[in-house]
Amino acid sequence: MGTTTTTKADLVNAIAHKTGLTKYETESVVDAFFESVIDSLKSGKRIEIRGFGSFNIRHKNLRDARNPRSGEKVTVEPKDVPVFKISKEFKLAVSESLKSST
């Protein structure tokens, strides 16, 4: 199966086509959605979109790792990283779609 990428422009075009909004209006909505997700996560809020998935912040502790190039030990500082977990419905829809296309 070949790998292709859907870009933001592709999303804007698809949403504009389905909604009848202009591409400019659709791009504003998509940008506002992305900004809202980022702002919510920055303020420590969890985002749950039923049937799609949830966005959350996960804390990664201080740890030792190895530089893959040199093999040298490095210390990775603690950090908070955004994570996305897909819903069961989303996972099922995608897996069923992939099964039927093969």
Residue 1 lies in a domain: no
Q: Smallest Cα–Cα separation from 58: which of 33, 84, 83?
A: 83
Residue 56 and residue 28 share a domain: no
CATH number (domain holding residue 85): 4.10.520.10
Domain count along the chain: 2
How far apart (Å, rounded) are the C-alpha atoms in residues 85 and 50?
A: 11
Residue 60 and residue 21 share a domain: no
Weakly modelled stretches of the chain, pLDDT under 50: none
Predicted model pTM: 0.76
Residue 59 and residue 82 share a domain: yes
> Can you give the pLDDT at residue 1?
52
How far apart (Å, rounded) are the C-alpha atoms in residues 84 and 1?
A: 24
Which domain does 39 fall in, by range?
A: 7-45
